[in-house]
Amino acid sequence: MYRRPMTSHVAGSGSILVTGASSGIGAALALAYAVPGAVLELGGRDASRLEAVAVQCRNRGATVRTAAIDVADRTTMADWIADADLSHPLALVIANAGISAGTGDGGESEAQARRIFAVNVDGVLNTVHPAIACMRPRRRGQIALMSSLAAFRGFPGAPAYCASKAAVRVLGEAMRGELRADGIGVSVICPGYVESPMTAVNRFPMPMLMSAERAAAIICRGLARDRGRIAFPWPVYAAVRLLAGLPIAWTDPLLRRLPRKGG
């Protein structure tokens, strides 16, 4: 029988694991969940930035463990997640880590495209599958996958990024139905432009750019309500859904004129 997944994440209910927690949305989510009694497992590639986030979380009363880790490393990720669950059973796992790059002026190289997929797709698989293995025997838990509004239509300026986020979106939506019987909730997060090192390099207007703290607040509310898709801001979401539904012959000429993201 299905039991509603744990979504309140109050102190004592289990630990919260966040990848890509050293900056941007990941860091903001870590701080949002850093309340007295909370147990956080934070991963990121930049050890110094990750530790700075951990210090802020500890100052808010949370217990924090960090791991300087590359989500593309399948074995290391599996070991880290298993160890985290053994220490404090995982209640919420947020597969947030991701990278972005575009075509710039020289096109998208094969190496760049493969690295984006290794982090954005393989990194998500390396996070969620070990987490599922931990949660399934308990028949409870929640997993969140970080996609993007770019997942709804491929943009010529960032092919691999759009494609990788589309894969994550569809994966998460399918997993939500698959894991329901196991008592595991799955949510897909599709943000628009959010202030972060990833967007700081953009040299073009970003509609409705919001702070990472604001984005984290929206995400936390959506996860607490067990929403299947957390997409924001809604005007940009509506625009990309409309764009995705129009004939390609209509949209291609428009999209080719959009500014390119740097490579």
Sign of the alpha-carbon torsion through 27, 236, 219, 186: negative
From 2, 33, 161, 237, the catalytic residue? 161
**pLDDT, position 1:** 30
**pLDDT, position 103:** 62
Q: CB of 37 within 8 A of CB of 11?
A: yes
Q: Please report, for residues 22, 34, 249, the alpha-carbon distance to residue 164 in angstroms, rounded to integers and kept in the order given.
A: 21, 30, 23
Residue/partner pairs of 194-202 with CB below 8 Å, 24 or more apart: 194/24, 194/25, 195/24, 196/23, 196/24, 196/25, 197/23, 197/24, 198/24, 198/98, 198/99, 198/100, 201/262, 202/261, 202/262
Backbone angles phi, psi at 93, to 5 degrees: -125, 125
Q: What is the pTM of this model?
A: 0.89
> What residue type is 166 in one-letter code?
A
CA dist 175 and 166 (Å) reads 14
Q: CB of 190 within 8 A of CB of 147?
A: yes
Active site residue 161: yes
Task: Tell me how many degrees the CA angle 236-237-242 measures, rounded to the nearest 5.
Answer: 95
Q: CB of 27 within 8 A of CB of 212?
A: yes
Domain 15-255 CATH (choose: 1.20.120.1760, 3.40.1190.20, 3.30.70.3000, 3.40.50.720) = 3.40.50.720
Task: Tell me how many degrees the CA angle 209-215-217 measures, rounded to the nearest 5.
Answer: 145
CA dist 177 and 215 (Å) reads 25
Q: CB of 224 within 8 A of CB of 65?
A: no
Q: CB of 181 within 8 A of CB of 224?
A: no
Q: Per residue of the chain (263 residues), what is the pLDDT tens digit?
A: 323 333 345 444 789 999 999 999 999 999 999 999 999 999 999 999 999 999 999 999 999 999 999 999 999 999 999 999 999 999 999 999 999 876 666 678 999 999 999 999 999 999 999 999 999 999 999 999 999 999 999 888 889 999 999 999 999 999 999 999 999 999 999 999 888 776 656 666 667 689 999 999 999 999 999 999 999 999 999 988 998 888 888 877 777 766 666 55
225: its two tokens: 């309500």
